[in-house]
Amino acid sequence: MSVIENSKLTVVGAGGVGSSVAYAALIRGSARHVALYDIATEKVEAEVLDLAHGTQFTGTSDIIGGSDVAVAEGSHVVVITAGAKQKPGQTRIELAGTNANILKAMLPQLLEVAPNAIYVIVTNPCDVLTVLAQEATGLPPERIFASGTVLDTSRLRWLLGRRAGVSTSSVHAYIVGEHGDTEFPLWSKTTIGTVPILDWQPADGQPKMTVDELDQIAVDVRDAAYKVIQGKGATNYAIGLSSARIVEAILHDEHAVMPVSTVLQDFHGVSGVALSVPSIVSASGAVAIAETQFSASELGLFRRSADALREVADSLRG
């Protein structure tokens, strides 16, 4: 497959994240046509109007939208951001239950109007929802996956690049596992250019990085969203940009390597859960790279992440 002509992206959910995905896709020219769908009529129409008023400045993309699922008709990619926000005192599992029900009600309607689309789930907890959505729809795992740790990986590369004195794009690093509390960096494969991370000598005279420092950076990446949420109530810009980037990899058939979250089948012995690992993203969807190597301790962390997610998914199937 090659670049999809006259490509169409539908973003489901016109809240802060969904609107930011649509905005990022418009200004990056990610798709020829962008549609925004939400059951809240007044809200989605207002967001579409606001975005449409700027299309003189966004190149060739146009935007439509509304509260009728027909706006998604013929989509090549559907990005799902709809769902309830975590309420104070609400557990992640309770939130997962609410959002799983929203997703299960919505997916059959979307599949009716966009049967051939690739579905990207951004709604949290995205890994658990991806497993449940894949089971509910019966879609092949490569066609329904989560944005996973694409954003977490960008956060990690930004922090490392700043410390190492190089551009973010020159840092080769990945966050893998759950998009959440059990995620971790693949330090054993992290390099600046071709130099292993612990061997890198920053040009500004700073000392080399230490294992303790890398541990702290991993914590900062994992907790980055909490910091943003505390200050402004939600994260939206970076997830909007990273989602638009995933959409481009699909629509341009890039075969780009990105840490998205697919339902794994015998990946280092892990099956039936969705976790982020380096995957090839193209017009046919996302496929995990089976040859990805882990150190022994990283493999332990990966399996711990899988167990944690399996427990949540099982409790929701009950």
Which residue from 41, 37, 115 is spatially nearest to 72, judged by alpha carbons? 37
For 51, half-sphere exposure in the C-beta direction (CA atoms, 13 angstrom radius) is 28
Token output for 303: 């399996």
Q: Quick check: helix, strand or coil at residue 293? A: coil
Element (DSSP H or E) covering residue 59: none
Report whether 192 contacts 156 (CB < 8 A).
no
| Active-site entry in 53, 172, 179, 268 | 179
In the residue annotation, 179 being an active-site residue is answered as: yes
Query: What does the alpha-carbon distance between residue 4 and residue 185 come to, in Å, rounded to a whole number?
Result: 33
Q: Quick check: helix, strand or coil at residue 211? A: helix
Answer left, alpha or beta for residue 271, where phi above 0 means left and psi between -120 and 50 means alpha.
Answer: beta
Query: What does the alpha-carbon distance between residue 11 and residue 271 come to, in Å, rounded to a whole number?
Result: 29
Torsion angle of alpha carbons 281, 118, 138, 128, nearest 10°? 70
288 beta partners: 279
Q: What is the bridge-based pairing of β-strands 62-66 and 77-80? A: unpaired
Query: What does the alpha-carbon distance between residue 173 and residue 128 come to, in Å, rounded to a whole number?
Result: 24
Q: Quick check: helix, strand or coil at residue 272? A: coil
- Point out the residues that are catalytic: 179
